[in-house]
Amino acid sequence: MLRDAKARLGHTTHFEVEVDHMDQIGPVLDAGVDTIMLDNFTPAELAAGVALVAGRARVEASGNVNLATVAGIAATGVDVISIGGLTHSVAALDLGLDIELRPGGDQHRADRNSEQGAGQATP
């Protein structure tokens, strides 16, 4: 199935497959994927996965990545580390920009110019 999907993709399409068990890596590699995402693997499993892939695809680590774990994950030899917390755990910022429109538009700018003096730029 993966090999058929890869065959239908354009030559510029990057093909990435996520696995969550070590025994899935071989069949995914056989399909010729570009990147294998190892999801929720322990650091020891990540290192074993990197060794199994042996440069035949890019290896991405995902799951349970935070500031406390990222150095250990990087030490396993993975090529890419994904941090889902950047999207699903971020606090929202409610930022509004209120604009007051006045009748006459440019008149307001002209009034400010006269207050600043001749020859000064208007912000």
Residues 6+ apart with CB under 8 A from 15: 5, 6, 9, 32, 33, 34, 35
Split the chain (123 residues) into runs of 10 and give each run's mean pLDDT. Answer: 77 87 95 94 97 97 92 97 75 77 63 52 50
Q: Are 34 and 16 in contact (CB under 8 A)?
A: yes
Q: Which residues of 70-102 are buried (b: 16+ CB within 10 A; e: fewer)?
A: eeebeebebeeebbeeeeeeeeeeeeeeeeeee
Q: Does pTM surpass 0.75?
A: no
Q: Which domains does the chain have, with CATH numbers?
A: 2-84 (3.20.20.70)
